Amino acid sequence: MLQSLREFGRKKLQNPGNDLRLDMHGHWLPGIDDGAADVSAALGMLASFSELGYIELIATPHIYRDYYPNTEQTIHSSFERIRTEADKFFPHLTLGCAAEYYLDDHFESLLRAKSLLTFQGNHVLVEQGYFAETPGVDKYLFDIQIKGYAPVLAHPERYVFYHQNNKKIAFMRELGIKMQINLLSLTGKYGPVVASKAMEYLEKGWVDFIGTDAHTQEDIQLCREIRLTTKAYDAWLKISGKTTF
């Protein structure tokens, strides 16, 4: 009953890739992080992305020295493995790769060397831990800009330390930091609080990118149907280029 009340008046979207077209946050490169384990799992993910209507996919494997010590080389070689296969089965998909950088001193050294993987020009996707704000996060984000990149904060709705702190999100946006929410958040995969924060950011016009952050084929299938409030849907249309700002 509560669920149906909550969904009352919401716009139901099927196959959201038909609107969004581009997914700029996904873990489908085979064998290099906590996403697709092998080429077959990666192809399964690409099949599901295609079913949802996506036409362009940017893989963003983690670069997190303590857990996923990826480099440009590990990412590119995994990308070449899947691209050869993908060209056979999904020639209509445009594929690319960047990374999801954890903000730490390893990231700092990559930034200093100006050696970051980017998407859509100079965008750099960065993440923090979920439970405590990264010390010096403002300085990291500023330094990224100083080096000529455009920082994009991955899934701000998943950081519990921002749930009661909209001011901080607004502050970062004022400084030009772009925000990327997860489609999976809107499905409720991470719980109702994260879902409602994602919806709230959309409604406030604080979202620049909507990515899936899919790690498995099941994740993508969860995104098959999305429900949005009317206000969030207006923002959705703007983000997907269907109306202009």
Contact residues for Fe ion, defined by CB under 5 A: 100, 213
| Cβ-proximal residue to Fe ion, closest one | 213
**For residue 52, what are the contacts with CB-CB under 8 A and spacing of at least 6?**
15, 16, 17, 18, 220, 223, 224
The helix-helix angle for 105-112 and 137-146 (nearest 10°) equals: 10
3-state SS string over 139-186? HHHHHHHHCCCEEEEECHHHCHHHCCCHHHHHHHHHCCCEEEEEHHHH
Cβ proximity to Fe ion, 16 vs 35, nearer residue: 35
Q: How far is residue 12's CA from residue 177's CA, in Å, rounded to a whole number?
A: 30
Name the residue nearer to Fe ion (CB basis): 100 or 157: 100
What 3-state DSSP class applies to 69?
coil
Amino acid (1-letter code) at residue 66: D
The strand pairing partners of 94, in sequence order, are: 56
57 forms beta bridges with 23, 95
Closer residue to Fe ion (CB): 50 or 212: 212
Q: How far is CA 191 from the centre of its chain?
A: 17
- What distance in Å separates the CA atoms of residue 97 and residue 103, rounded to the nearest whole number? 19
- For the CB of residue 183, give the shortest distance to Fe ion in the complex, in Å: 12
Question: Would you say 21 and 53 are in contact if contact means Cβ atoms under 8 Å apart?
Answer: yes
What is the closest distance, in whole angstroms, from the C-beta atom of residue 35 to Fe ion in the complex?
8
Nearer to Fe ion, 102 or 233 (CB): 102
Least CB distance from residue 102 to Fe ion, whole Å? 10
Bridge partners (DSSP) of residue 226 are: 13
Question: Smallest distance, Å, CB 194 to Fe ion?
Answer: 14
The smaller minimum CB distance to Fe ion, of residues 157 and 213, is found at 213
Cβ 125 to Fe ion shortest distance, Å? 8
CB of 234 to Fe ion, least distance (A): 26
Nearer to Fe ion, 198 or 233 (CB): 198
